[in-house]
Chain A
Amino acid sequence: MADINTINKDFADLFNQGNELLLEGSSDVMNKTRKNAFQDFAKLGVPTRANENYKYTNLIPAFDHPYNVNLRYQQVDVDLNEIFQCDVPELDTNMVLLTNGWYYGNNKELTELPKGVIVCGVQEAAEKYPEIFNAHYGKYAKTDDDGLVALNTALAKDGFFIYVPKGVVIEKPIQVVNLLRSDRDLMATQRNLIVVEENAQAKIIVCDHTLTHHKYLTNSVTEVNVARNAIFDLYTLQNQHLNSVILNSTYIRQESNSNVLSNTISLYGGTIRNNHHVILDEEHCENNTFGMYLMDRDQHVDNFTSIDHAKPNCLSNEHFKGVMDDQASGAFAGRIFVRRDAQQTQAYQSNNNLLLSNDAVINTKPQLVIDADDVKCSHGATVGQMDEDALFYLRARGIDEKEARQMLMFAFAHEIIDKIRVEPLKERIDELVDKRLRGEISKCNTCAIACNH
């Protein structure tokens, strides 16, 4: 097995040898950021467990594999629009596809978007809308802190870009389907940027999805800026396969009176690491960070979150719940920072876990760093088994044990699903989670929320 130095050296070689391809087609700003990022990566490397923030997730086996890397957009030999048909009419979305981290070249035009809304690839955005792009790109996901972000920024070529202009309300959610489809094992680097301007409103659903059974590693970074009075929802559905690695870092910055809700639902994947960073950078923001993970077999999930109350009078609610079965393992870290002048902060956090087997493990760690004195904060973590009294109560009414367990697990998970602010999506996720808990989604060649092929 390779050690971390070999892995880091391989990336250095890739960066140097592939430099021409890396620079090709990317804007100057992207390439300048890339150069700095690579220097940071050279210092940081892929995080190992010696890094306190990655204590519970060993990335060496994830990276120690001869992946293919596409530094150029690869033409797709089929029409992905044909393959992907939405079969849930109630869930009406503006859908775009990405393939292996790249904005798909034959995406259908989104005709129903309000005027001024932009949905396109990052490369295209950097070129066509430099004013918007340059104002935000690389501003929130700092490369000197996390080796994965540095690596992503060093290798970033494409991803999705969404821009919602001032005052524009997008009724229909935008659905981004990240497809992994390759005939070889593949590492994808995806870099996304979402800019929601003042008084705008948008809901984005991101689905991660594998189309073939190859081993995949995705290292994605999403930067989001939500301006004053804007309302923004980000739903992430991770539904890949046991041989995939999802490394997903999201950086959200909020301006005054903005309201953000994110809900990250991990249904299937071999190794999943979500880094979720929020900074409440002006007053009177509301942030809701929710997540749910349903893991079994040898799956691993690690949700690492930080909510930074940089300014006074903001409210944050964070709630993650997980159901762990078999030998599944997981971790949750919830950091809340309340900076010195962030008075009148309200920050709430909880993490609840249901362990269904003796071999499943979860490490949960709240961490509150509070430098202001007038704050309301609470945190709590629970790890428990199924409530035997409740189980007996259901069975005593004639409900068989399997169904009774199912009802209790579902009830446990539903609390997080209930936070979804798109009604048809909520119903769809309910169904999906019910199936997942019944063990009926084992392969995940079905799109998490809308698609059949």
Chain B
Amino acid sequence: MLSIKNLHVSIEGKDILKGINLDVKPGEVHAIMGPNGAGKSTLASVLAGRDLFNVTEGEVSFQGKDLLDMEPEDRAKEGIFLGFQYPIEIPGVSTVNFMKTAVNEHRKYKGLDPLSASDFLKLMREKKSLVEIDSKLTNRSVNEGFSGGEKKKNEIFQMAMLEPKLAVLDETDSGLDIDALRVVANGVNKLKTRDNATIVITHYQRLLDYIVPDVVHVLYDGRIVKTAGKELALELEEKGYDWIKEENGK
């Protein structure tokens, strides 16, 4: 479903991703771990279409289409969802209006009519309960004044509303308390089907107790330097990244 080949990305002349190769198939869960500054968020942003970054080499295809050629909104409508590491506050834009516009854009793309006001509210209600997010939050402007954890929950709520084929969750677990972590992980698991896939970027093994990955990758200095099963996460938790760094000559 997603195939990344030899992806090189730079920003302001500085190379950040230095040849990423990754294949994700429907139904799979991939975890990407790695030290700070390795390029995890960069990879996620490039998949979502952030134009701050320059792709200098390589290819990315999603469901057979050239992803790099698409605008961010079209990638979203094709089924890619980025759960932001740092969700943006947008004062003055109501969550309801934001979600209604987004959902209807997705529907339009699929050739469906916009949802009626009551159907939309029904959908909101249903998804809100799935991620146990309070109406107090969804009645406000997008992320405005939300706590760190609330912002992360809101990302999962949006994901639930949009039902993506590939979700890339960038440190959705950081800043969550134990209960919220469970709720978020449950949300992700409930939304899982045989046809969609998830990439979770995380620093912590504890998330992977809830969202069990099929594969764990270590991203270090712009490259995927190790790929293994879920036991790799445990090993990293125990030993840190020094051994990875040593193996890679630093």
B237: interface (CB < 8 Å): no
CB–CB A399/B105 < 8 A: yes
Which one, B50, B92, B106, contacts A411 given CB within 8 A? B92
Chain A contacts for B77, CB-based, 8 A: 398
| CB proximity to A under 8 Å, residues B59-118 | 71-73, 75-77, 81-82, 84, 87-88, 90-93, 97-98, 101-102, 105-106, 109
CB–CB B88/A389 < 8 A: yes
Stretch from A80-88, A101-109, A206-214, A402-410 at the B interface:
A402-410
CB–CB B73/A401 < 8 A: yes
The answer to whether A399 and B90 touch (CB under 8 A), given A392-B50, A393-B84, A407-B101, is: no
CB–CB B76/A398 < 8 A: yes
In angstroms, how far is the closest chain B Cβ from the Cβ of A429? Answer: 15
Q: How far is the CA of A398 from the CA of B75 in the complex (A)?
A: 8
CB–CB B92/A412 < 8 A: yes
A181: interface (CB < 8 Å): no
CB–CB A400/B88 < 8 A: no
Q: How far is the CA of A410 from the CA of B141 in the complex (A)?
A: 13
| CB proximity to B under 8 Å, residues A385-400 | 387-390, 392-400
Q: How far is the CA of A390 from the CA of B49 in the complex (A)?
A: 14
In angstroms, how far is the closest chain B Cβ from the Cβ of A303? Answer: 21
CB nearest to B45 among chain A residues: A392
B218: interface (CB < 8 Å): no
CB–CB A396/B92 < 8 A: no
CB nearest to B105 among chain A residues: A398
A415: interface (CB < 8 Å): yes
CB nearest to B101 among chain A residues: A399
Q: How large is the interface on A (under 10, 10 to 19, 20 to 34, 35 or more residues)?
A: 20 to 34
CB–CB A398/B106 < 8 A: yes
A426: interface (CB < 8 Å): no
CB–CB A396/B48 < 8 A: yes
In angstroms, how far is the closest chain A Cβ from the Cβ of B52? Answer: 8
Chain B contacts for A394, CB-based, 8 A: 90, 93, 98, 102
Chain B contacts for A407, CB-based, 8 A: 93, 97-98, 101
Chain A contacts for B202, CB-based, 8 A: none
Q: Interface centre among B77, B82, B93, B106, by most A CB within 10 Å? A: B93
CB–CB A395/B76 < 8 A: yes
CB–CB B90/A396 < 8 A: no
CB–CB A399/B93 < 8 A: no
B158: interface (CB < 8 Å): yes
Q: How far is the CA of A403 from the CA of B73 in the complex (A)?
A: 11
B162: interface (CB < 8 Å): yes
CB nearest to B90 among chain A residues: A390
Q: Interface centre among B49, B76, B81, by most A CB within 10 Å? A: B76
User: What sequence of 0s and 1s flags, for each residue 155-189 of chain B, a beta carbon within 8 Å of any chain A beta carbon?
Assistant: 00010001000000000000000000000000000
CB–CB A395/B72 < 8 A: yes
CB–CB B91/A411 < 8 A: yes
CB nearest to A409 among chain B residues: B92
Chain B contacts for A400, CB-based, 8 A: 71, 73, 105
Q: How far is the CA of A414 from the CA of B50 in the complex (A)?
A: 27
CB–CB A414/B98 < 8 A: no
Chain A contacts for B91, CB-based, 8 A: 411, 415
Q: How far is the CA of A414 from the CA of B158 in the complex (A)?
A: 24
Q: Interface centre among B49, B52, B72, by most A CB within 10 Å? A: B72
| CB proximity to B under 8 Å, residues A321-345 | none
CB–CB A411/B90 < 8 A: yes
Q: How far is the CA of A244 from the CA of B107 in the complex (A)?
A: 44
Q: How far is the CA of A400 from the CA of B49 in the complex (A)?
A: 13
Which one, A387, A393, A403, A411, contacts B87 given CB within 8 A? A393
Q: How far is the CA of A399 from the CA of B74 in the complex (A)?
A: 9
Q: Interface centre among B73, B87, B98, by most A CB within 10 Å? A: B73
| CB proximity to A under 8 Å, residues B138-152 | 141-142
Q: How far is the CA of A414 from the CA of B84 in the complex (A)?
A: 26
Chain B contacts for A399, CB-based, 8 A: 73, 98, 101-102, 105
CB–CB A398/B90 < 8 A: no
CB nearest to B77 among chain A residues: A398
Chain B contacts for A410, CB-based, 8 A: 92
In angstroms, how far is the closest chain A Cβ from the Cβ of B144? Answer: 10
CB–CB A395/B162 < 8 A: no
Q: How far is the CA of A399 from the CA of B71 in the complex (A)?
A: 10
Q: How far is the CA of A396 from the CA of B70 in the complex (A)?
A: 12
CB–CB B88/A397 < 8 A: no
Q: Which B residues form the contact surface with A (CB < 8 A)?
A: 48-50, 52, 71-73, 75-77, 81-82, 84, 87-88, 90-93, 97-98, 101-102, 105-106, 109, 141-142, 158, 162
Q: Which A residues form the contact surface with B (CB < 8 A)?
A: 387-390, 392-401, 403-404, 407-408, 410-412, 414-415
Can you list 18 pairs linking A and B with CB atoms under 8 Å apart?
A393-B88, A394-B102, A395-B49, A395-B73, A395-B76, A396-B84, A397-B76, A397-B98, A399-B98, A400-B71, A400-B73, A404-B73, A407-B93, A407-B97, A408-B93, A410-B92, A411-B93, A415-B92
| 6 pairs of A and B residues whose beta carbons are closest in the complex | A411-B92, A398-B76, A395-B72, A397-B102, A393-B88, A398-B105
Beyond the given A399-B105, A412-B92, could you list 14 further A-B residue pairs with CB under 8 A, ordered by the A residue number?
Answer: A389-B88, A394-B93, A395-B73, A396-B75, A398-B73, A398-B76, A398-B106, A398-B109, A399-B98, A400-B105, A403-B101, A407-B93, A411-B92, A411-B141
